[in-house]
Chain A
């Protein structure tokens, strides 16, 4: 029965780490050759092909475990042998983790290709930057496959703290300042989480997801659990930038280079949110220490409102998009207020679409800001100056605002419908109204780009190499928006498993 071994799970993670470590010596060679960019591209393509193949292998083997109508198992993969599986399991595979792993590899590959071309012009040696991206991807994949709270904590904190290297890349005072802010927040958050986890361990004697869940279900006195819950929730809320803990995010993403911002928003931001759902909703909520659906809904509403209002008043376009990232977390939170098939589908689809859309807009803004265009005034007449980058930004904006046929529409439709299903119509109404607000300020930007006269009439030649990864994501936004069933087919196995993880009312 147990055909999926430890090697299968570890392979995608380890292969990325190995490639990351080999990057430094390999670049010593690449640096001496003529075709530097081409070889860089090949090297990282190989890295992602290997790790992608490893993920595909894992997915296929996992799906082969059970024929399609019967639900897939939750697979515990232990370091110490199956006898003590309940007690400590390093890795767990289920439908969600497979889906997330595929998403992480695919999006990370596109962003990395963009980064190669984006960093190409800068003087500083950049191979470390790419190596860190690989390691972060590996850490994120580790977090996705984690089977106990400690493994999850270690891998996830590695990804979260490690991403400060991407932010600090420019090494100017602004980025130093905001990275420091970010690191302080992460450290505070992890202190909260560790404290909470220690209480959970004390209560249950285990950190394994299922063992914890089952032990908590029969727990007599839930007072301590409530404290643990609040501590852990606060910690993860800080990392996911949920209002009122969101203020570090716009600073950090604006100060980071655009390729970093794209990576952070598409992977780390969505990852933080995945961890939040995994730990809070699937493991700690079922024991029903408190009915926190309402609290979650209020947080979602606040995040949507505050994120959008702050985006509304921005003058710097990159900062505007960073604020949309905050708002996006709010929209995604709407989905988990009801842990149902629909809400979960919405969440998982939102991970992908929200990630792609934010990455797309950061990439487009990165390309534009290379020519010194940063504020709304700079963007005047950009539609004629840089037609393709502008088009990509407009499509990203439409997707954010939830205009069909772009992917963002389906994501929002799913989460709002899930909210209506959970009898939280007011939340859906707030979500819909803030979407209109979003459309309004994004079209203010479009207005600047197309209606205003540019300061000078020159047409800027857009580098094709940067446009290719951007338009890969544009195509993804359109195709997955028109025919979302491609993604839903991957999500389907998750829904079959939902009966086992559903919240008991």
Chain B
């Protein structure tokens, strides 16, 4: 379709007033409308898949006039990686809005909530499907403001405090990204990622180095890698659960995607092969390992149901960071096919998104039905909430990296890639070993979670009868359960898509 990607932007943007009006009448209608918009967007994204698979450049591009004076075009672009992430994002938006129907039922001002969700979805999808740096930054920040108000307005305990922390941390990161983008524009005269990549090759490495560091630091904040992770546990655990699913599934993945696409894809080739380039990748590895251990260990001792999952997100971003650091470091002549490690990393973003989305939704379901947050007060819920128990188990086992669930295959690919790299660079031997140990930790906290929540006997003197979740919540979780299993058994579709991408 000629205007497919433009419509992906335009539909939610035009849909906001309709969602608001529908929400005034009935919140349910608004939720269904949000889901429908996301569904149409997903279909539109799928229409680009044949072009990506079959065309010679393996990409799909639409370009419109925007700000000629700044050499900026409204360039919408999809290749294997971006379209996969955008599709999964749309799925999560659908699921989050369906889940909200029951979950948010008692809350007020739902018309505003769903309007904000629609606005948010523009940024969430948009950030993956543009190759213009300015437009990328627009979407990057558009993820921020609606998320702030959703967390603050409908969250738990002291939501605005968590939202404020989220905003300031990620906004501070974003301005470094802005500096990097400004510097790229200044030294190359273009704001297109791919043109910039070619132009940067002839720029002095001293400048490129700073651009690379500024961009990566900014993205790492969004990705919540230790030591800039402080916003994540608060934001993820205080947010309403559908929003947590989007935060953990998409927003932090966007950080990882940006590092892959911009830091590594656009800027890094100019310093590849230098000592600095190799040190940079090794630095990423170290931060990745630290995050994986830090997140896993805290998840092992945390007792708040959502904070466990939040720390597990930090751990998993550690895996992703580790995977990213396996990016080919030598100066490459010509193009090479994407390596197993990078394929695994992108696939891990997808499988982590669906698994973690499911994990947060099921935790939300438990909180919604029992009104308890502390896992020490729970127990024996498997009998009372069988459906939620199945969903939680699927999610937890996937997060732990157990076959046949989604995260297993992607982690496996990352490790395969790691062993490939070790042959050339002995540095990675120890980190790879450590990461293997970290996977054991993730199994440990997943099992601890399951046993505390679902097994044993109920501890509370709950006079309230606990029943399983209502239908829309079930439907939302069912979609993700199916997806987690399908991605685990048959990841071919996405692997084929991802492997069409060439990093120069």
Interface, chain A (partner B; CB < 8 A): 345, 398, 401-405, 409, 413-414, 416-417, 420-421, 425, 428-429, 432-433, 435-436, 439-440, 443-444, 447, 450-451, 483-485, 488, 491-492
| Distance (whole angstroms) from the CB of B73 to the closest CB of chain A | 11
Inside 8 A of A488's CB, which chain B residues have their CB? 67-69
A447 with B171, Cβ < 8 A, contacts A404-B138, A413-B182, A420-B182 known: no
Binary per-residue interface labels of chain B (180-195) against chain A in the complex, 1 for a CB within 8 Å, 0 otherwise? 0011011000000000
Inside 8 A of B164's CB, which chain A residues have their CB? 443-444, 447
Q: Is the CB–CB distance between B69 and A450 below 8 Å?
A: no
Inside 8 A of B183's CB, which chain A residues have their CB? 420, 425
A416 with B178, Cβ < 8 A, contacts A398-B145, A488-B69 known: yes
Q: Is the CB–CB distance between A485 and B67 below 8 Å?
A: yes
| Distance (whole angstroms) from the CB of A416 to the closest CB of chain B | 5
A-B contact pairs, 5 of them (CB 8 A): A416-B182, A429-B179, A432-B178, A435-B175, A444-B164
CA distance A433 to B186 in the complex (A): 20
Inside 8 A of A439's CB, which chain B residues have their CB? 167-168, 171
A432 with B186, Cβ < 8 A, contacts A403-B171, A450-B153 known: no
Secondary structure of the A contact surface, majority rule: helix
Interface presence of B160 (CB below 8 A): yes
Centre residue among A398, A401, A402, A403 by max chain B CB count within 10 A: A403
Inside 8 A of B144's CB, which chain A residues have their CB? 403
Q: Is the CB–CB distance between A485 and B68 below 8 Å?
A: yes
A428 with B179, Cβ < 8 A, contacts A440-B168, A450-B153 known: yes
Interface presence of B152 (CB below 8 A): yes
Partner of A447 from B142, B160, B182 at Cβ < 8 Å: B160
CA distance A488 to B66 in the complex (A): 11
CA distance A367 to B424 in the complex (A): 67
A404 with B137, Cβ < 8 A, contacts A436-B175, A440-B168, A443-B168 known: yes
| Distance (whole angstroms) from the CB of B54 to the closest CB of chain A | 34
CA distance A188 to B360 in the complex (A): 65
Partner of B142 from A405, A414, A433, A492 at Cβ < 8 Å: A405
Q: Is the CB–CB distance between B168 and A405 below 8 Å?
A: no
Q: Is the CB–CB distance between B168 and A413 below 8 Å?
A: no
Q: Is the CB–CB distance between A436 and B171 below 8 Å?
A: yes
Inside 8 A of A451's CB, which chain B residues have their CB? 152, 159-161
CA distance A402 to B70 in the complex (A): 18
| Distance (whole angstroms) from the CB of A407 to the closest CB of chain B | 12
Partner of B186 from A402, A421, A443 at Cβ < 8 Å: A421
Inside 8 A of B70's CB, which chain A residues have their CB? 414
Interface presence of B437 (CB below 8 A): no
Residues 133-161 of B contacting A (Cβ, < 8 Å): 134, 137-138, 141-142, 144-145, 148-149, 152-153, 159-161
Inside 8 A of A401's CB, which chain B residues have their CB? 171
Inside 8 A of A436's CB, which chain B residues have their CB? 168, 171-172, 175
Closest B residue by C-beta to A384:
B109
Closest A residue by C-beta to B171:
A439
A450 with B152, Cβ < 8 A, contacts A417-B186, A439-B171 known: yes
CA distance A421 to B210 in the complex (A): 15
Q: Is the CB–CB distance between A428 and B168 below 8 Å?
A: no
Q: Is the CB–CB distance between B182 and A428 below 8 Å?
A: yes
| Distance (whole angstroms) from the CB of A52 to the closest CB of chain B | 25
Inside 8 A of A429's CB, which chain B residues have their CB? 179
Interface presence of B176 (CB below 8 A): yes
CA distance A485 to B72 in the complex (A): 10
A404 with B141, Cβ < 8 A, contacts A435-B175, A450-B152, A488-B69 known: yes
Partner of A485 from B66, B138, B179 at Cβ < 8 Å: B66
| Distance (whole angstroms) from the CB of A408 to the closest CB of chain B | 12
CA distance A492 to B67 in the complex (A): 12
CA distance A381 to B167 in the complex (A): 20
| Distance (whole angstroms) from the CB of A29 to the closest CB of chain B | 43
Inside 8 A of B160's CB, which chain A residues have their CB? 447, 450-451
Closest A residue by C-beta to B109:
A384
CA distance A394 to B66 in the complex (A): 26
A416 with B172, Cβ < 8 A, contacts A403-B145, A451-B152, A485-B68 known: no
Q: Is the CB–CB distance between A485 and B153 below 8 Å?
A: no
| Distance (whole angstroms) from the CB of B125 to the closest CB of chain A | 16
CA distance A491 to B69 in the complex (A): 10
Q: Is the CB–CB distance between B182 and A417 below 8 Å?
A: yes
CA distance A398 to B149 in the complex (A): 13
Binary per-residue interface labels of chain B (56-91) against chain A in the complex, 1 for a CB within 8 Å, 0 otherwise? 000000000111111000000000000000000000
A432 with B176, Cβ < 8 A, contacts A405-B138, A450-B160 known: yes
Closest B residue by C-beta to A484:
B67
